[in-house]
Structure 1
Amino acid sequence: MSETVLSLADARLVLAGNAGPVEILRGITLEVKAGETLGLVGPSGSGKSSLLMLMGGLERATGGQVHALGQDLTAMDEDQLARFRRLNMGVVFQSFHLIPTMTALENVAVPLELAGVTDAFARAEAELRNVGLGARTDHYPSQMSGGEQQRVALARAAVTRPRILLADEPTGNLDGANGAAIMDLLFGLRDRHGATLVLVTHAPDLAARCDRVVRLVDGRIAADTLRAAAE
């Protein structure tokens, strides 16, 4: 049986709102296996992105447990979480979150430099070539299109060879052609590195490419469907 790489048990998230506490996630129990591609779908405000943030330790559960690669994320402090993500996870957002004063090469090399990798720039350059930006290594984010910036973000997420890739609406700020190209690259990175991919999307065609789709409604799992069972 495949290894469980992400596990949530009755995970809850309550955030402070202007009118009082707001329940974002209401008891999520979920397991994701090694190499699986999981799509998270549902209406706006259903908790998809918040669930992804819990999986990546970018948001701390206010109840229940969240484990990644056998480690209890709810028991880690911020420094431990940052170190764990740097070693094990790649995260891609709708907004590219590139450092504007750094070139594409420098942006991709950052996580490797933080990890003390000696050949950080050589590996970063190779990853930029993998996403079709070998000729743009010295360009700054302001000199690149949205699609190119997201390619840089993908290269940065993949350069550490993460076991887990998390993507939150990675095509949300792109046109159809660029969005399709980014998704092809993302699935290609997953295949090349053997990573587990969790993808938040509103697009039915992207969800259809996932092995399994979990639908959230009002902070709860409303459906959990294997693609093979749906076909």
Structure 2
Amino acid sequence: MKARPMSDPVLSLTDAALSLMGNAGRVEILHGISLDVAEGETLGLVGPSGSGKSSLLMLMGGLEQASSGRVVALGQDLTAMSEDGLARFRRDNMGVVFQSFHLIPTMTALENVATPLELAGHKDAFARAAAELEAVGLGHRADHYPAQMSGGEQQRVALARASAPRPRILLADEPTGNLDETTGQAIIDLLFDLRDRHGATLIMVTHSNELARRCDRMIRLRDGRIDTTASAQAAAE
């Protein structure tokens, strides 16, 4: 899917910084990040452990509030929103996939996928949830609980849950980190397939340069700053 011109960003960060209070005092996590992401673009965030990749993804999703600067998503200033406002915005516009699956253990696969749809007021929540489970190859596991499924199956449920509301922005934080190589590759193929089917902008944190090269663009972070940015094709050369 071809990305739209960068003049119409879905996400825009301007001098965004993040600092958190730790036991030894305030810790500076991100420093002056400025970045635009176009609609339909796939962006890979790479860099060594502790470089700020996941923290940057959290800023983009409004899961962390910037200490300074601005984060604008779909024309909305996330830095000016309340926690309730951010939760509603994510519900209506974003899908998030974590390394840990974060499924509700007392709910079946179908119920886990349907829950965000019900919260958003969709009357066809269970029908849509069933369709998404079919799309990730788990229609036959709809009535199973997370403890009855493998790690790869649980991540498929998490992907279905994230994509079922048809989000315009899909965020993935090391989505294959807890999986073996073969299962992880299958999850990545599904993630890109969901992106293509729903036309979402995909932003993904990964330690794998090979995986990041499947994206339109790679952003490499180091010490909480953007170190380099390049098209995936240029990064592969």
TM-score tier by shorter-chain length is over 0.9
1:174-207 superposed Cα distances (whole Å, 9 cap, x missing partner): 0011100000000000000010000000012101
TM-score when scaled to structure 2?
A: 0.96
Unaligned runs of 5+ in 1: none
What amino acid does structure 2 have at the position aligned with 1:92?
Answer: V
Q: Given the alignment, which residue of 93, 97, 100 partners 1:92?
A: 97
Match of 2:138 among 133, 139, 163: 133
Name 1:156's counterpart in structure 2.
161
Task: Give runs of ≥4 in structure 1 deviating > 6 Å.
Answer: none
Query: Residue 41 of structure 1 aligns with which residue?
Result: 46
| SS of corresponding position for 1:135 | helix
Structure 2: how far apart are the matches of 1:187 and 1:228? 17
Which whole-Å CA distance do the structure 2 matches of 1:208 and 1:10 have between them? 26
Matches within 5 A, 1:1-231: 1=5, 3-230=8-235, 231=237
TM-score (norm. length: structure 1): 0.99
CA offsets per residue over residues 133-183 of structure 1, 9 Å max, x none? 000000000000000000000000000000000000000000011100000
Deviation at 1:226, TM superposition (A): 1.0
8 Å contact 2:212–2:232 — kept in the other structure?
no
Identity, in percent, stands at 76
Q: Which amino acid aligns with 1:133?
A: L
Q: Please state whether the residue corresponding to 1:30 is helix, strand or coil.
A: strand
* Deviations 1:54-109 (CA, angstroms, capped at 9, x unpaired): 00000000010000001000000011100000000000000000000000000000
1:41 partner letter? V
Aligned AA (1:163): R
